[in-house]
Structure 1
């Protein structure tokens, strides 16, 4: 069995075929890894967008709480004046 395998690998076309198969395998693995890296980058970008949206909402809520009426009297004054 080993003799047949070594005799097969001694031929020029068998070596070229095995090198070609190895190159094709390497290219396929590279492309699959590239695809996985792209998916990971997409998930990270989506997570970043969500965090930015949440931070913007929270910032607007904090800004709005800074200008809110302090008590009922101030609320009624603002409603009567039309400044609310």
Structure 2
């Protein structure tokens, strides 16, 4: 007797319920691990981006400091060259 009655008893059996329960647990664990991996990748990407931004800001700061120390005119440049402090 195969038919709708056979399928109903198969899904209603204790073995099928246990298999379904373990399947759902496995799916939940897999989903959690994939989300954790994605979160880790995102954190790594953000850390790399932060490091790049820090390097960029450091270079800009050094350029601004150098610009602040530059001679303001040709006369200032000549004085520095004569004084040997260039």
- 1:25-84 Cα offsets, whole Å, 9 max, x none, are 110011001000110111111111111111111111111111100112211221221101
The gaps in structure 1 that reach 5 residues or longer are none
Give the TM-score, by structure 1 length: 0.90
Instruction: Supply the distance in 1 between the matched residues of 2:6 and 2:74 (Cα, whole angstroms).
Output: 96
Find the partner of 2:35 among 25, 33, 36.
Answer: 33
Instruction: Please report the RMSD computed on the Cα atoms of aligned residues, expressed in angstroms.
Output: 1.3
Instruction: Supply the distance in 1 between the matched residues of 2:55 and 2:36 (Cα, whole angstroms).
Output: 29
The gaps in structure 2 that reach 5 residues or longer are none
Task: Tell me the residue number matched to 2:21.
Answer: 19
Q: Is the partner of 1:69 in helix, strand or coil?
A: coil
Aligned length: 84
69-78 vs 36-45, greater mean Cα deviation: 69-78
Give the TM-score, by structure 2 length: 0.88
Instruction: Supply the distance in 2 between the matched residues of 1:74 and 1:27 (Cα, whole angstroms).
Output: 71
Task: Tell me the residue number matched to 2:51.
Answer: 49
43-52 vs 27-36, greater mean Cα deviation: 43-52
